Amino acid sequence: MNQPISPDALFERQIQYPDILPRERLSRLVGLDGHKLRLSKMLGALINPAGIEGWAQRHHPGATGLTMSILGRPPLVVLAGDVGSGKTELAETIGDAVARQEGISITLFPLSLSARGQGRVGEMTQLISAAFDQVVYEASKLSNERGKARGAVILLVDEADALAQSREAAQMHHEDRAGVNAFIRGIDRLANNRLPGAVIMCTNRLSALDPAVKRRAADILSFERPSEAQRHAVIQRSLGEVGLSSSDLDRLVRATGPSNAREYGFTFSDLTQRLIPAIILDAYPDKAIEARRALEIVAMTLPTPPFKDIGS
């Protein structure tokens, strides 16, 4: 593989921010306001240090070491948790909030799973290195050492444990180990050059990630199944204006939570992509949505089982 690798072979697509579509998708992620705020602040500081440095000068002049706990970290954030908990959707849309917050344009590069390669010697390492080469190149064009970045890039690695699995695993192939090394070098390269770029990793198996990768994370956000309050927010948003009473909504919320029959409730994606559409389409086109029928549909819908992380 001596030929240059096309960006189309490395990334699923490119997403530009700010943009109205990601903004709308982000707004639909109800119940994750804390994660949205925390992630947008961390990414903003990592890709545009001038912003947090300006804050420090305004509010804490003379505290020269104040921002180093943020700016001294590698530009990596890990989103970890159960399936269907909103990790990938947040990762794909948070760039819009950061772009508006920092007043810059941002491009998201979602790494294609094909970057793992076919297992040929040196292939995975070359693909990962090429992906970081492209991200570093794009970030270098936006760098501004004298002040605010002129833009930024974010590399998204979904199912990150497939590319950055722990090198301590006894069954790990040499090529996989080399790929993890290339991944770590790429993160360090972004950090050492202080480029306006960051990496977001999403994983269902935090324990499977290489320890050196986890140590480099500026933040690790944990995602759980929605609580009762979060399920209420999701259901209220979609079904709160169709004539159901407060007690009807409360019954739907309870029915989508843990029960005697199962110890786990519905995921965010179970609610938004399966259950609520099923309730709406059951009534369409001839009748109104009814609480009794909605509860019957809940009873017929099985939530996604929790992901079993054998290594945890």
Please check whether residues 143 and 235 belong to one and the same domain: no
Task: Write the pLDDT tens digit of every residue in 121-164.
Answer: 467 788 889 999 999 999 999 987 666 788 999 999 998 887 87
pTM of the model: 0.88
pLDDT of residue 226: 94
Tell me, yes or no, whether 59 and 125 share the same domain: yes
Looking at the domain assignment, is residue 182 inside a domain?
yes
Query: Strand 197-203's sheet: what is its strand order?
Result: 15-17, 106-110, 152-157, 197-203, 76-81, 219-223
In this structure, are 19 and 135 located in the same domain? yes
Do residues 184 and 263 both lie within one domain?
no
Q: What is the model's pLDDT at position 118?
A: 57
Q: Which residues contact 34 (CB under 8 A, 6 or more apart)?
A: none
The answer on 182 and 51 residing in a single domain is yes
Query: Which of 223, 255, 282 lies at the terminal end of a domain, its last residue?
Result: 223
16-30, 115-129, 203-217: the lowest-pLDDT one: 115-129
Residues 104 and 155 in one domain: yes
Among 5-9, 44-48, 52-56, 186-190, the range scoring the smallest mean pLDDT is 5-9
Answer yes or no: is 2 within a domain: no
- Quote the CA–CA distance of 286 and 72 in Å, as a whole number: 60
Residue 100 pLDDT level (bands cut at 50, 70, 90): very high
* Residue 57 tokens, joined: 């000068």
pLDDT at 194 over 70: yes
71-81 pLDDT per residue, tens: 888 999 999 99
Residue 306 lies in a domain: no
Whether residue 105 is contained in a domain is answered as: yes
What is the rounded average pLDDT of the residues 174-186?
84
pLDDT band at 216 (very low <50, low <70, confident <90, very high): very high
Q: Are residues 123 and 198 in the same domain?
A: yes
Q: Looking at the domain assignment, is residue 134 inside a domain?
A: yes
Residues 101 and 244 in one domain: no
Q: What are phi and psi of 261, to 5 degrees?
A: -80, -25
Q: What does the pLDDT read at residue 174?
A: 67
pLDDT tens-digit profile of 239-259? 999 999 999 999 999 999 999
pLDDT of residue 210 exceeding 50:
yes
Provide CB contacts within 8 A for 186, sequence distance 6+.
Answer: 128, 129, 131, 132, 135, 136, 199
- Tell me which amino acid residue 178 is: A
Do 99 and 243 contact (CB within 8 A), yes or no?
Answer: no
Single out the residue of 161, 157, 163 nearest to residue 201, CA to CA.
157
Alpha carbon 66 to its chain centroid, in Å, reads 27
pLDDT at 161: 82
Whether 312 is covered by a domain: the verdict is no
Average pLDDT over residues 95-122: 82
Strand pairing category for 15-17 and 76-81 = unpaired
Whole-number pLDDT of residue 188 = 95
What is the model's pLDDT at position 312? 44
Look up the CATH number of the domain holding residue 29.
3.40.50.300
Domain assignment of residue 294, given as a range: 228-300
Cα distances (Å, whole numbers) of residue 111 to 14, 114, 125, 209? 10, 8, 14, 17
223, 258, 273 - which closes a domain: 223
Number of domains in the chain: 2
- The answer to whether 156 and 111 have CB atoms below 8 angstroms apart is yes
Tell me: do 101 and 218 sit in the same domain. Answer: yes
Query: How high is the pLDDT of residue 62?
Result: 85
Determine the average pLDDT of the residues in 213-236.
94
pLDDT of residue 121: 46
Residues 6 or more apart whose CB falls under 8 angstroms from that of 104 comprise 48, 148, 149, 150, 151, 152, 196
Q: Residue 37: its pLDDT value, please?
A: 97
pLDDT tens, residue by residue, 253-297: 999 999 998 999 999 999 999 999 999 999 999 999 999 999 999
Q: Are 214 and 248 members of one domain?
A: no
The answer to whether residues 128 and 176 belong to one domain is yes
Regarding whether 210 and 67 lie in a shared domain, the answer is: yes
pLDDT value of position 165: 76
Predicted local confidence at residue 164, as pLDDT = 78
Domain annotation covers residue 311: no
Q: With pLDDT > 90 as the criterion, what percentage of the chain qualifies?
A: 68
Work out the percent of the chain whose per-residue pLDDT is above 70: 90
Does the residue 245 lie in any domain? yes
User: Of 201, 223, 245, which residue constitutes the final position of a domain?
Assistant: 223
